[in-house]
């Protein structure tokens, strides 16, 4: 029925508006973070430029055999700062694109809601007059059930989307770090740059997932919260192959744990989404039978 379809669409509004409020706060926080990262990148760029130009400093570093090492470390710091800034900028663009898409969903729904409320009230009066007492009571119960079910479906879908994106990002990191053969500074440079870039994407995705799960009933977030509280994004050190191997091995273990936790969350969200969709289908079928009985 056309009225039921309209109501189903309008019932998604609260969840969408909640997501919009969270998204706007996330954008503000991301923009503050981007400003800090830009200052860091400028600072690291000045350090590199100063090291390359200051001949006396270079002379001293040459005398103690540290010039190339110091120059490489400074270059690496600049690269890390640039990667962090670029990833944060990409994240903001993605958030703003999501906001634009969300606005395009909310705007027509709000326009439809006003007219729908008046029509709903008219229909409700007509139905309660025509239905017998047990039917009228059950109709109201079904309405109340739907007001719980539909927002839950919306929130579950949003949380599942974010969990899937985060899982995909973590998989990319694992692929970058799991290489065949010996780990050396030379054969890992490109892989680690890819891993670090995706790590900068993964952390905001996991925070977004944690926020989204707050609105979902009966989802265990303890493991995810523990990971977020201990997760670090320390840049890899290229000073020696031995140190690099240790860092890569530790990060692989960390990402494996993240993949396990995200995989379990995806499974749980998928199961709960199916459960709510089944409830929705049964609710819709029974309600239609009542309306058709008029």
DSSP string, 110-150: HHHHHHHHHHHHHHHHHHHHHS-HHHHHHHHHHHHHHHHHH
Residue 56 has what pLDDT? 43
Q: What is d(CA 189, CA 131) in angstroms, rounded to the nearest whole number?
A: 73
Q: What is d(CA 259, CA 176) in angstroms, rounded to the nearest whole number?
A: 14
**Sequence spans of domains, the chain:** 2-292
Q: Where are the alpha helices (DSSP H) in the chain?
A: 2-10, 13-53, 55-63, 67-130, 133-177, 185-213, 222-230, 241-292
Residue 120 has what pLDDT? 65
Burial class (CB in 10 A: 0-12, 13-18, 19+), 89: middle
Residue 233 has what pLDDT? 62
Is there a contact between 160 and 238 (Cβ–Cβ < 8 Å)? no
Structure tokens at 221: 């977030």
Residue 166 has what pLDDT? 93
Tell me, yes or no, if the pTM score tops 0.75: no
Q: What is d(CA 103, CA 167) in angstroms, rounded to the nearest whole number?
A: 26
Residue 170 has what pLDDT? 92
Q: What is d(CA 173, CA 194) in angstroms, rounded to the nearest whole number?
A: 7
Burial class (CB in 10 A: 0-12, 13-18, 19+), 264: middle
Structure tokens at 21: 């409020």
Residue 57 has what pLDDT? 47
Residue 241 has, within 13 A of its CA and on its CB side, a CA count of 7
Mean pLDDT taken over the chain: 79
Q: Using 70 as the pLDDT threshold, list the residues of the chain that sit under it.
A: 1, 3, 47-72, 74, 120, 123-124, 127-133, 179-189, 230-241, 291-294
Residue 180 has what pLDDT? 57
Residue 190 has what pLDDT? 72
Residue 179 has what pLDDT? 63
Residue 263: partners with Cβ closer than 8 Å, 6 or more residues away: 167
């Amino acid at each position: 029925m056309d009225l039921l379809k309209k109501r189903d669409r309008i019932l998604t509004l609260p969840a969408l508006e909640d997501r919009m409020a969270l998204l706007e706060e996330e954008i503000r926080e991301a923009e503050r973070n981007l400003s800090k990262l830009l200052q860091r990148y400028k600072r690291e760029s000045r350090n590199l430029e100063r090291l390359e130009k200051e001949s006396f400093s270079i002379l001293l570093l040459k005398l103690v055999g540290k010039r190339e090492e110091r120059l490489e470390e400074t270059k690496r710091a600049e690269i890390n700062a640039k990667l962090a800034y670029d990833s944060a900028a990409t994240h903001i663009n993605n958030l703003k694109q999501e906001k634009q898409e969300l606005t395009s969903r909310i705007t027509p729904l709000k326009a439809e809601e006003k007219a729908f409320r008046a029509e709903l009230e008219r229909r409700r009066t007509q139905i309660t007059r025509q239905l017998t007492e047990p039917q009228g009571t059950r109709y109201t119960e079904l309405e109340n059930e739907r007001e719980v079910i539909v927002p839950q479906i919306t929130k579950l879908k949003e949380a599942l989307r974010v969990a899937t994106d985060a899982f995909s990002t973590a998989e990319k990191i694992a692929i970058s770090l799991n290489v065949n053969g010996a780990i050396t500074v030379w054969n890992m440079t490109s892989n680690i740059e890819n891993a670090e870039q995706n790590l900068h994407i993964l952390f905001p995705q996991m925070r977004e997932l944690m926020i989204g799960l707050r609105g979902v009933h009966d989802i265990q977030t303890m493991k995810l919260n523990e990971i977020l509280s201990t997760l670090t994004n320390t840049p890899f050190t290229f000073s020696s192959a031995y140190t690099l191997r240790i860092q890569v091995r530790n990060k692989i273990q960390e990402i494996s744990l993240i993949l396990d936790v995200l995989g379990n969350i995806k499974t749980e969200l998928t199961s709960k989404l199916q459960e709510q969709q089944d409830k929705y289908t049964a609710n819709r079928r029974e309600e239609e039978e009542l309306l058709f009985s008029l």
